[in-house]
Structure 1
């Protein structure tokens, strides 16, 4: 039987479809003006007036394409392009528009605007997918103003309640509820619980691997699990001169030993384990006083829960062993994200898309948290990474090549089309 010529034409049109890389870049640069910093970065903290301006710009762009826009009570924005069959579950993509205080132009923003560019490309080509498509802007992914991080996606999947999120306050005592009302984004649309067929998220890598391997596409197979701790070490402060070395109870000396232990724990569980001490406060922090107290953070990450559990046990054992310095320790776990594998069929769709486009690709694991980590708990999920210069992110000098951003967006386009289908 001869092939249906109309179907063949549609299939070829889809195969040949490419995004407009210049339009994607120009949109990123226009968005970056909102909260732009003298060093070329972006400071657009969540639920500030600058965040409102960024949200308003995004909504104006999707409405030009005829998308319907819904805003839920935590301020998440859902821009939907209708499919032929409105009863089919939606195929989503998205990320966030909020930044760190010294953030860059691409973290989060790229994922949102790559989704926008997918919709623009389909609009220009007059291609309608069977399933509806949706670009999501998640509220407060960064957590730089309000805690918890990944707030919008966390509420969406039920990780924490809407009331818990709305009652969170910033350093000035302003609540999320007050901030949403102030910028006009306290939505009323009830979107949580809607069926999601698939969720894709495009992102700069925020690490150095792709650039080091001269590879364009990171096929993200999952995200590292994370355990964060607050550690308190208690010794005795004493005069630095009269106190002999063997009689000291130096909390900072114990902390230094723990830092090297954290590094050793991670190295012993290579290649995907990570161990970091990122914050330390020393008491009394005086030049000629032996430190009597240290509070510090420990961040452990691993690709599987068994490894993460083993690292946890090793950390706790190391802290208990600090009594050899005459120092007591208290360890409090404050965050736990289990390792999150992504859906093999969607991962394969990303891999196939890169191959069909002739792009170099390699499997990678995300070391950072993303909204995709939460979405993977309720829907098949995958991520697409592209390189960033020197692996630098959460920094005003964060940078990425236009051709890499375009390539990642093309992979996103074809992965979404493969899932949403065109008949």
Structure 2
């Protein structure tokens, strides 16, 4: 057996878990959970921590125009396109320690094994941590990967503003200055990888219910994000008769009911979520002048998303409780089916560490959905307890994580 073929079995699972525990202290909350919002101090601290790990392994550490971080280990033929593996390190406001971070640290574990075992490989390998996957601070998410893949314009991304009025571009510039001062190498232009593999926690209950430590992801649901503003007229809550009101909250309530009714004929794969809802002027004794809310719409079939998009726009043309409606599409990400040859490789890799590893479509979007537009891309999942994610109770078992990362290493060995 060649050295590269032994990558799976020589991977240091104990050091992998040590890295997971170390990164979980950056942005740690009491009594548990983490908060590393994109481009905040904790997120930037995590970048510097990762850079330090890369330098210790003899890697070149680069960053690009969007602050995406790359740890590069050279191959025997550096003219070849690099294999790219990784995920993200930013989090939701009240999050667990494994969403995104596991995928980055799985890549770091592969690099450690290559270095510790002195294993040579033909093509370069790069570990990536993408900027603002979550979109919790700056919406929409997956900023770094969508820009890298040519799916979103730089100008649109940097114009986003957080809840404190800080522009993405301001926070990004502070991050880039920090990285440059720390000694990282600026590499502005995106490149075309040989392939991209992302390991992620499932963020759902399937693997745990099946008792499997790893699963193969065959594709990712498409996502449409909307912002809807309902405009009414503010007035006194005690003196304005019901039939004389143009209450934005009432209009929003009627519209939400109609939107949900439009989705009821779809199959169980459909996901419709209102995650944000606000009224203005937000006073207990004043009729709402404006109500604003978000919609997150997901389905693996683009035709379903398109049909619902038409219905949503038609509903927004109507007046609800006498109020006018403005609907804005803030993000569209098409469904992705991963290529057959990579799925075959991941099936074999998962099968090498787990009998009857399942295969299914991801309900959550990931950076892989954008990388799939520029290079062969696929994903592996590992379970999280009760399917809980985006919450401090998010939890993975050490042995499951190690098995999944060994499956990743097995695939990497075939691709290098």
TM-score, normalised by the number of residues in structure 2 = 0.87
Aligned to 2:311: 314
For the Cα contact (< 8 Å) 1:165–1:176, is it kept in 2? Answer: no
Is the counterpart of residue 370 in structure 1 residue 362 in structure 2? no
Q: CA deviation digits over 1:277-300, x for unaligned, max 9?
A: 122223455556655542222221
Q: 2:331 aligns with which of 335, 356, 365?
A: 335
Distance of 2:302 and 2:160 partners within structure 1: 29
Instruction: Tell me the secondary structure at the aligned position of residue 198 of structure 2.
Output: strand
1:321-380 Cα distance to aligned partner (Å, 9 max, x none): 554x44432222221112222222212222221112224422222233322122111111
Q: Does 1:97 align with 2:89?
A: yes
Matches within 5 A, 1:98-247: 98-162=90-154, 165=157, 170=162, 171=164, 173=166, 175-185=170-180, 189-190=186-187, 192-235=189-232
1:351 and 2:347 matched: yes
Pick the aligned partner of 1:413 from 409, 412, 415: 409
Counterpart of 2:358 in 1: which secondary structure? strand
Q: CA RMSD in A?
A: 2.9
| Secondary structure of 1:196's aligned partner | coil
The structure that has the greater radius of gyration is: 1
Report the equivalent of 1:3: none
Q: How much has 1:191 moved relative to structure 2?
A: 5.6
Name the CA distance, whole Å, in 1 between partners of 2:316 and 2:66: 40
Q: How many residues align?
A: 411
Shifted more, 239-248 versus 79-88: the winner is 239-248
> In the alignment, which residue of structure 2 is the partner of 1:6?
none
**Cα distance change, pair 264–210 in 1 and its aligned pair in 2 (3 A):** farther
How far is the alpha carbon of 1:25 from its aligned partner?
1.3
Q: Give the stretch that moved more between structures: 375-384 or 142-151.
A: 142-151
- Cα distance, 1:145–1:241 mapped onto 2, change above 3 Å: closer
Paired with 2:200 and 2:350, the residues of 1 have a C-alpha distance of 15
1:393 and 2:389 are equivalent in the alignment: yes
Instruction: Supply the distance in 2 between the matched residues of 1:83 and 1:310 (Cα, whole angstroms).
Output: 47
Counterpart contact for 1:217–1:387, Cα < 8 Å: yes
1:5 match = none
Q: How far apart are the structure 1 equivalents of 2:128 and 2:377?
A: 14
Q: CA deviation at 1:90?
A: 0.9
Rounded to whole Å, the distance in 2 between the matches of 1:288 and 1:16 is 64
Gaps of 5+ in 1: 1-8
